[in-house]
Chains A and B, each alone.
Chain A
Amino acid sequence: MEPLKIVAVSAGLSQPSSTRMLADRLAEAARRHVQETEQDTEGGRPVEVEVLELRGLASEIANNMVTGFPGTALSRALDAVAAADGLVAVTPVFSASYSGLFKSFFDVIEPAALKGKPVLIAATGGTARHSLALEHAMRPLFSYLRAIVVPTAVFAASEDWGGGEAGTDGLADRIGRAAGELGDLLLRRPYTAPVAEELVPFEEQLAAVRAG
């Protein structure tokens, strides 16, 4: 059986990076959810996870802005995202929004590459006061790209890596819920091959111009 592919994009910059850590946990939770759900029915569908760190692509992303085409490594990353069955997108919050590197990556991707693709959005930050960046910046970005964004967006502030804030679900619960939503969408979404560019025969183009 063709494995389902989950690609996680992390725009974390430090080493080690809490953004990367969140991306890993979300992707792994989604993978486990799919496999456990499938085990009950068909005996387990293989799931592949690939994590892309944008830090390593930073100069190629900038070059793409200047030249209009991706270099080798960036090209591979863009293809991986386009071919993924589901995407986990994680950014640190910089100046009240996604980081410039994160946005730049999604600026150079083919606009149709995310059409109809299930996406889990997540972010990290020093304080939970940044958490709505997910709703006012990340979600509209992926809506614009016509992706299907799962309802639960996961924000991890510094304190979440410890006990978290009293009175809210812990980080692990939120990861589980979001990953479950992504996993369910992956299973429901039939695999569709990328559509080849359609050619409009010249007579039709001419007729369309004449018809005004």
Chain B
Amino acid sequence: MQFGIFTVGDVTTDPTDGRTPSEHERIKSMVAIAHKAEEVGLDVFATGEHHNPPFVPSSPTTMLGHIAARTERLILSTSTTLITTNDPVKIAEDFAMLQHLADGRVDLMMGRGNTGPVYPWFGQDIRQGIPLAIENYALLHELWRKDVVDWEGRFRTPLQSFTSTPRPLDGVPPFVWHGSIRSPEIAEQAAYYGDGFFANNIFWPKEHYMKLIGLYRQRYAHYGHGTPEQAIVGLGGQAFMRKNSQDAVREFRPYFDNAPVYGHGPSLEEFTEQTPLTVGSPQEVIDKTLTFRESFGDYQRQLFLMDHAGLPLKTVLEQLDILGEEVVPVLRREFAKDRPAGVPDAPTHESLLARSREDAEAADAG
């Protein structure tokens, strides 16, 4: 099982001292956070993609390419890549390039974005969100798998005899996750292609995500990719930890109360009871995360949101130390217990390459 972090890349004022980092500071912080993730033994770093303030990560492959050059093992991913407003041709090219530079340590997560105005900035219309996600991904999927593509669709100029370069590393496209907060259409799309499905699992009670993941698992089997238990599921989560529970609550409360997403609403206590957010000791985070398996079944990837709501870099790095040293080793051990033999690990470049070689040999033999 893979553990990692995902970041939104927001520039938020620290509510405790009123300090706002510059964009430059925030971008450099994201890189420092990625380094820390590798240092403390996490597997994945994923960045969001946004095209409006107060967010900085508009150019994920630039950032991930930089991180790739300075890390050894970390898998670089996105949370999410906008399949609606990006040209699928450019996604195919950018991520294939990144894959070569990172020697295969790359996957990505498709998302639609949630801000209406972004669509027209890129010549699109939010009312076409789902059709855009469907058509653009169908093209991206083809561009990575066929050397020469002839294509015509609704949302982009036609392609004739087009080759997306560079070709994917070793002829193996990066693994794709599809992220969705509320759309069964996207769970269905992930299932159809046999891709991974990621539920951000942050904002709402688990019952909501259980429905989506249940649907994805069932349709994954329907399309013949394996049993429902073999579907590739990723989950988000968020935590703030200190040795003593009360210290964690005291320190995190002002960040929670003023957080751009859920601040000025329910109390920290209500929100932690109703959603996967855990504020407390490392043991409490371990206990809460282990319940995810009971709700969603054995899964492949757990990402935590750690750097948001104006938390200073120093605090985030301390959080990552605790996560990497005290939480994840226990989670690895506990999640491995009683994991059914048929449940796969998250696909990596190596495993996908091995599978494509097996398939080629089988085809030759047949």
Mostly, the B contact residues are helix
Question: Are the C-beta atoms of B270 and A63 separated by less than 8 Å?
Answer: yes
Q: How far is the CA of A65 from the CA of B215 in the complex (A)?
A: 27
Residues of B within 8 A of A208 (CB): 131
The answer, among B134, B191, B208, B263, for a CB contact under 8 Å with A209, is B134
Question: Are the C-beta atoms of B204 and A68 separated by less than 8 Å?
Answer: yes
Residues of B within 8 A of A197 (CB): 184
Question: Are the C-beta atoms of B274 and A71 separated by less than 8 Å?
Answer: yes
Q: How far is the CA of A134 from the CA of B264 in the complex (A)?
A: 33
Q: How far is the CA of A63 from the CA of B266 in the complex (A)?
A: 5
Question: Are the C-beta atoms of B134 and A66 separated by less than 8 Å?
Answer: no
Q: How far is the CA of A68 from the CA of B262 in the complex (A)?
A: 9
**Which residue of chain B has the shortest Cβ distance to A72 in the bound complex?**
B274
The answer, among A62, A68, A201, A206, for a CB contact under 8 Å with B134, is A206
Residues of A within 8 A of B262 (CB): 66-67
Distance (whole angstroms) from the CB of A95 to the closest CB of chain B: 24
Q: How far is the CA of A205 from the CA of B131 in the complex (A)?
A: 8
Mostly, the A contact residues are helix
B99-139 near A? 1/0 per residue, CB < 8 Å = 00000000000000000000000000000001100110010
Residues of B within 8 A of A202 (CB): 188-189, 191-192, 223
Q: Is B205 among interface residues, defined by CB-CB distance under 8 A?
A: yes
Residues of A within 8 A of B192 (CB): 202-203
Distance (whole angstroms) from the CB of A82 to the closest CB of chain B: 15
Question: Are the C-beta atoms of B188 and A67 separated by less than 8 Å?
Answer: no
Q: Is B203 among interface residues, defined by CB-CB distance under 8 A?
A: yes
Q: Other CB < 8 Å A-B pairs besides A63-B270, A66-B266, A72-B274, 9 of them?
A: A63-B265, A67-B271, A199-B184, A202-B191, A202-B192, A205-B189, A206-B134, A208-B131, A210-B154
Sampled A-B contacts (13; CB under 8 Å): A62-B265, A65-B265, A66-B262, A68-B203, A71-B274, A197-B184, A202-B189, A202-B192, A202-B223, A205-B130, A205-B189, A209-B131, A210-B135
Name the 10 nearest CB pairs between A and B, nearest first: A66-B265, A202-B192, A63-B266, A209-B131, A63-B265, A69-B204, A209-B135, A209-B134, A202-B188, A67-B262
- Give B residues with C-beta under 8 Å from A: 130-131, 134-135, 138, 153-154, 184-185, 188-189, 191-192, 203-205, 208, 215, 219, 223, 262-266, 270-271, 274
